[in-house]
Amino acid sequence: MPATTMDQIVSLCKRRGFIFPSSEIYGGLQGLYDYGPLGVELKNNIMQDWWRANVYERDDMEGLDAAILMNRLVWKYSGHEDTFVDPLVDCRNCKSRWRADHVKGKCPNCGSTDLTEPRPFNMMFKTAVGPVADAESFAYLRPETAQGIFVNFANVLATTSRKLPFGIAQIGKGFRNEINPRNFLFRVREFDMMEIEYFVMPGTEDEWHQRWLDDRRAWWESIGVPRERITIYDVPKDELAHYSKRTYDLMYAYPDIGAQEIEGIASRSDYDLGSHSKDQGSLGIQARVNPNSHSTARLTYFDTATNRHLVPFVIEPSAGVGRCFLAVLSEAYDEQMVKAPPPEKLAAVADALAAFLKSVGKSEKISANARDAILDRGQTIAAGLPDALPQIETLLALPGADQIELGKKLRGQAQPLADEHFRTVLHLKPDLAPIKAAVFPLKRNHDGLVALAKDIRKGLQKSGRMRAIYDDTGAIGKLYRRQDEIGTPFCLTVDFQSLEDQTVTVRDRDTMAQERVAVQELEAYLEDRL
């Protein structure tokens, strides 16, 4: 079963080093996160998979990696200086600031109704290029990678001789000064984007829009996000971005926050190339664009069939890597009972949980919001025992829970039972898994076993096709659990038989089935299954 709460994912990411709050030792910076050792592997694997599917496996695509800082005029003519704004309101009582559409007449922080009128706030970060900060050096951090593609359209066309339709793909950082970053990686201020600008003949855009919708849905499924968990939102006209003729938002059913945008697929007409072109009046541009008095290029395509220059239309599939990362983890997440816990031990946990929740209800040490959150989650867990037993750890990690003395007793009862009878497992697609194989010696103080296990790891790693690790820091059962939790598809155990016949036990993460495989055949065996 996928994750049912965002806390399950947050807690796993923290405990296993997928994600760290940015600059944590100095108190952090809101809306910014760092990808830890496992996080960076998963993120890179997602981006590689996207690149492979959209660039290498197609014959109509080029890649690009444009600079993050660009001439300010890019953002003037793209429309972002005027329109990349959120309306915000201030609470006069607690001085907090909110997006106007997130406030229903009342401050979400203190409940006051003393709010300012909404006013526009441009979400682009500003900086200066060079030693003097003045109007000349003023620049923005890009809020999307797309504009780097549009302003390079003529360069790519001239150097590749592409014919329509063709696309340009790019993965890179985007920056948005979000008013209220929230929900972990879902809404942040710095994030990687995977964007395609696909250039088509005017008049064929609706057909290509549909084809891209189908292609992108197939990709999400291929990386482990089932079709039925993504709904399509045909964005109403009055909600469309300034450049869009029509947009389909793919909405993934995230835990806690429900169906939210994971990718937008916009039909951008000839707005972008038209906006960045000189001589606009002679190009037959169909979109309403602002006059451009700075561009030095006509961003057109010469159509040999009609012997004329035209401005291509654009279909743009655009997805955030962080939102993808969250969805992939949520889908892969599973808490499985491996054997039923004894009834008397379960009853003791249920009693400890009830006592803890009673104490939370009476406590004056924690805020009302934190208390409600703990009680809410705690009651759901109590009703869901024994299956929900592993979630007690997540409950005890909620803000304020550490203030309750009885939490220690609850952890003492629940944790050993969860460790022994449950496993958390990430059923990641093997090619997304941060680590592909983990090698263990049955005994860590036996030179022969250790040497062979280290040799095997080295050989697998050297193949350059997989990340393999060696671990001897616990009993085999515990090592299996540790790897299950981070989605390692295969665990290899070197035992005494290995020394005699040069075979090892290979254990499958999902089925937990084990089989013996010859050391010599390991690389081929794993590659087959990865």
Catalog residues that contact ligand GAP under the rule CB under 6 A. Answer: 144, 146, 176, 178, 187-188, 191, 193, 195, 261-264, 316, 318-320, 322-323
| Nearest distance, CB of residue 230 and ligand GAP, angstroms | 12
Closest CB to ligand GAP among residues 139, 146: 146
| Nearest distance, CB of residue 124 and ligand GAP, angstroms | 12
Using an 8 Å Cβ cutoff, are 435 and 467 in contact? yes
| Nearest distance, CB of residue 213 and ligand GAP, angstroms | 14
444, with CB counted inside 10 A (0-12, 13-18, 19+), is middle
Closest CB to ligand GAP among residues 91, 146: 146
Closest CB to ligand GAP among residues 2, 322: 322
Residue, CB closest to ligand GAP:
320
Closest CB to ligand GAP among residues 262, 453: 262
Using an 8 Å Cβ cutoff, are 185 and 323 in contact? yes
| Nearest distance, CB of residue 89 and ligand GAP, angstroms | 19
The whole-angstrom separation of Cα 270 and Cα 499 is 67
Closest CB to ligand GAP among residues 86, 335: 86
Using an 8 Å Cβ cutoff, are 49 and 83 in contact? no
Closest CB to ligand GAP among residues 322, 390: 322
Using an 8 Å Cβ cutoff, are 377 and 398 in contact? yes
Rg of the chain on CA atoms, in Å:
27
Q: How far is CA 90 from the centre of its chain?
A: 30
Closest CB to ligand GAP among residues 219, 525: 219
The whole-angstrom separation of Cα 492 and Cα 514 is 9
| Nearest distance, CB of residue 327 and ligand GAP, angstroms | 10
- Helix, strand and coil percent figures for the chain, each rounded to 5: 40, 25, 35
Residue with tokens 């500003």: 126
| Nearest distance, CB of residue 198 and ligand GAP, angstroms | 12
Identify the H or E element spanning 275: helix 271-275
Residue 463 is classified by DSSP as T
Closest CB to ligand GAP among residues 178, 334: 178
Closest by CA position to 439, among listed 378, 381, 506: 506
| Nearest distance, CB of residue 236 and ligand GAP, angstroms | 15
Per DSSP bridges, beta strands 119-122 and 85-90 are antiparallel
| Nearest distance, CB of residue 262 and ligand GAP, angstroms | 5
Residue 383's Cβ-side half-sphere holds a number of Cα atoms within 13 Å equal to: 6
